[in-house]
Structure 1
Amino acid sequence: MENKKKIVVHSNDIAYAEFDEFEMREMKLLLSLIATVTDDKPYFYDAKEMKRIVGMESQAYSKFAKLITNLQKQVLKINLEDDKYKTYNIFSVLSFDPKNKTIEIEYNSKFIPFILNFNKNFSKYYLENVEGLNNKYAIILYLRARANIFKYQFKLSVEEIQKKYGNNYKASDIDKRILVPALTEINKFTDINITVEKEYLASGRGRSKVVGYVFKISKKKKDLEENIYKAMNIANKNRFILNSKTINKESINLLLQEYSEEELVVGLKYAYKKINANFKTLTYLKKVINSGLEEKENKKNDIDLVEDEEIVSADLVEVMKDRVVADDEQTSDIVEYTSEEEERLVNYILENDGITYDFLQNMKCKSKSVYINTLRAAENRMKER
């Protein structure tokens, strides 16, 4: 199984689950397996590759078989409201064939909804980020951070850390035993950085008591790959797309929260071929991209894409690398909406445009002009009805 560009997608309930009984390698193996799930069906894996992913290349297959057995016995504790929870068996079948060196897996039907067929409240990240972590708490905190990536922070109380993650460590040991080693790994090996601030309970005498932690999340800046730049330039050769000013570094980074690089390249090239009318919003572009990906999936072959060299010039590539449309250039005629009007328009978009609330909020944070244009387009469509 090639893991470098495998994408892990799961419900945020998993990010908030309790993994206190899991070993680090059990967590890595579970997430590696989830990264391959596309349907509710049996799966078979090469045990040698899975050993590599969990860092057991040099160890005997008998030890790996024990890891498989232990993971098969694990249950996942999903937290509900009011301190309630449910536990789920993950697998109905998880077995290792020592003769053929293969793993067979079938997921429990009750667990399937946490890893398939959801369109909101989910986490999505490259498997390679988890593969680089060798600290159990680093994996736990990374999952929690990915679930809150659009909020840019999350909080944990000392009590929660002690109960769910810390083996009842003393508050004074949380920094040394959990946070420092975990955050060091996350900041070194993953696509995000996390800083932490302590929350104190003021007391009348002596030192203030630490009662919790605020984890601030930031994404590491990453240069766009060359194929993304080429796809941007292809799309902007379409005059309707170019006039919309919806494709620039800012919007591409937004779209990369929803699509893999490969998906976005296909979608942008499809948009170049299909868009033949004026539009103003990133929401519309996203709908066209989705149509392209659906068409590609349905036909089970590549879309007949234009050749890059026929439509892309080298100087345009350089222009696009430096092109970021400033908010003050786009917002001179922005319409301000009341909170009630904004809520009404947002609900309309969520119901009709197939995008998530998190995507809209990230758009609002990153580019107010694009966000307002999206609301304005929704308002116009509502008036036409």
Structure 2
Amino acid sequence: MPIISEKQENQKQVLTLNDLEKRKVVEHNSLITSIAKMDKTPLKMFELAVSCIDTEKQLEDNTVYLSKRDLFAFFKVSDNDKHSRFKEAVEKMQKQAFFKIKEKKDKGFEFENIVPIPYVKWTDYNDEVLIRFSPEIIPYVVNLKKNFTQHALSDLAELNSKYSLILYRWLSMNYNQYEHYSVKGGRREEQVESYRNPTISIKELRTMTDTVKLYKEFRDLDKRVLKESLEEINTHTSFNVTYEKVKKGRSIDSIVFHITKKRTAEDNSYKLDDRAYQEDKARKAETEDQLVLQAMDSPYTKLLMEHFLLSYLDLMDKKILAGLQAHVYPLYDELKELRGLNGVKDHLSYVASKQEAYSKRNVAKYLKKAIEQYLPTVKRQDL
């Protein structure tokens, strides 16, 4: 009896004729932030199987079909032992691999352990492989209307570390939201930027990468989970990613990633020609320089220095000064109108007394948040 029916043959042909370079993986965000209790091979095989799902059609019998040829091409296997290695990978995936999913519900969090692919069928005399998803994983990969992420299968093909795969999926989830809200709106500017510069606590990073009991020293976690993974991601995917370590006291508390996308001819983000791109860049630089000059002349800069909320090093940073002039000083003007300059001084004295909560890496953001929280109180008192 053949593995697939005549009705299913059409679906199989569409999937196997699709170039691997064009396939997309679409997954719910809860799956991306889950703990993947598996090594790199089962995880990559799962991603390959998900890429076979036609998101615009009903998935019949929770089943997809792919060819061994595609599978071996994806894993770049060409030796004579490839069939036995495929068999070992499938068996390992079914015996050991599962996702630990934590999803927020109305009354609290819901926890699930899901074996994603419990059934695989193939023969030694033809090219087809049948992969059947578990019913429990289906809501995370089929008919997704919101809170989902799409990334290119080709980006995953060259990643050879489990941590690279996990971080790439998480970075894609954030950058997708940056692209979405940059075009559609619906978020404040700083929220949109936070998707391109996402922060993750060390505790969350360890949980997501399943390293809670591994790499106890941060320098080992930094090397194995961050440096080595981002080197792979930067070399083999469409992203360029850097990161900063954020301290709380003497310990590293969290990581801030900075994501940019590589320029390609096909990317709509870079359809400006080189001249237009350079002109746009020059205009932004000119605007930044103007803001810096205004900040240097502002009495608020002197007040921040007097209260030790700005250092001389901060005065050398254009981004900090431009950020203050553009986003913080207009709010100080509002407070000055309500309470006078002494009101601004009182506010800064209070903020200075709370400096233990303040990160020098984000001085403009910190000061903006402080005044945004204080102004509504002042306005209510004046009613």
In the superposition, the TM-score normalised over structure 1's length comes to 0.55
Deviations 1:176-198 (A, max 9, x none): 12111100011111111111111
Say if 1:145 and 1:153, in contact at 8 Å, map to a contact too.
no
Does 1:3 pair with 2:20?
A: yes
Deviations 1:124-173 (A, max 9, x none): 12211111211111110000001111111322222233344225212221
Does 1:100 pair with 2:126?
A: yes
Identity of aligned residues (%): 22
Residue 152 of structure 1 aligns with which residue? 196
Say if 1:192 and 1:217, in contact at 8 Å, map to a contact too.
yes
Q: Which amino acid aligns with 1:224?
A: E
Residue 29 of structure 2 aligns with which residue? 12
The 5-angstrom pairing of residues 164-313 of structure 1 reads 164-165=208-209, 166=211, 167-170=213-216, 171-202=218-249, 208-224=250-266, 252-253=268-269
**Per the alignment, in what secondary structure is the counterpart of residue 77 of structure 1?**
strand
| CA distance 1:320–1:209, shift in 2 (3 Å) | closer
Distance 1:18 1:184 in 2: 22
Residue 7 of structure 2 aligns with which residue? none
In the superposition, the TM-score normalised over structure 2's length comes to 0.55
Say if 1:162 and 1:169, in contact at 8 Å, map to a contact too.
no
Q: Which amino acid aligns with 1:17?
A: S
Distance 1:221 1:75 in 2: 36
Distance 2:155 2:126 in 1: 30
Residue 268 of structure 1 aligns with which residue? none
Say if 1:193 and 1:220, in contact at 8 Å, map to a contact too.
yes
Q: Which amino acid aligns with 2:49?
A: L
Q: Which runs of 4+ in 1 moved over 6 A?
A: 319-326
Distance 1:320 1:223 in 2: 10
Deviations 1:251-309 (A, max 9, x none): x439x9xxxxxxxxxxxxxxxxxxxxxxxxxxxxxxxxxxxxxxxxxxxxxxxxxxxxx
1:322 CA displacement: 6.3
Say if 1:152 and 1:216, in contact at 8 Å, map to a contact too.
yes
Distance 2:143 2:109 in 1: 27
Does 1:33 pair with 2:18?
A: no
1:174 CA displacement: 0.9
How many residues of Structure 1 are paired with residues of Structure 2 in the alignment? 233
> CA-atom RMSD, angstroms?
2.7
Match of 1:23 among 39, 47, 67: 39
Does 1:47 pair with 2:47?
A: no
1:105 CA displacement: 1.4
Who wins on radius of gyration, i.e. which is larger?
A: 2
Distance 1:197 1:83 in 2: 30
**Per the alignment, in what secondary structure is the counterpart of residue 109 of structure 1?**
coil
Q: Decide which moves more: 97-106 or 62-71.
A: 97-106
Can you give the 5+ residue segments of structure 1 that lack an aligned partner in the other structure?
203-207, 226-251, 257-318, 329-385
1:93 CA displacement: 2.3
Say if 1:69 and 1:95, in contact at 8 Å, map to a contact too.
no
Distance 1:96 1:9 in 2: 25
Can you give the 5+ residue segments of structure 2 that lack an aligned partner in the other structure?
1-15, 179-194, 284-383
Say if 2:239 and 2:260, in contact at 8 Å, map to a contact too.
yes
Distance 2:228 2:162 in 1: 10
1:37 CA displacement: 0.4
Match of 1:71 among 93, 97, 110: 93
Say if 1:48 and 1:57, in contact at 8 Å, map to a contact too.
no
Match of 2:165 among 100, 114, 139: 139
1:6 CA displacement: 0.9
**Per the alignment, in what secondary structure is the counterpart of residue 91 of structure 1?**
coil
| CA distance 1:22–1:76, shift in 2 (3 Å) | same
Deviations 1:319-347 (A, max 9, x none): 98866897x9xxxxxxxxxxxxxxxxxxx
Distance 1:155 1:320 in 2: 33
Say if 1:15 and 1:143, in contact at 8 Å, map to a contact too.
yes
Distance 2:99 2:224 in 1: 24
Distance 2:273 2:228 in 1: 40
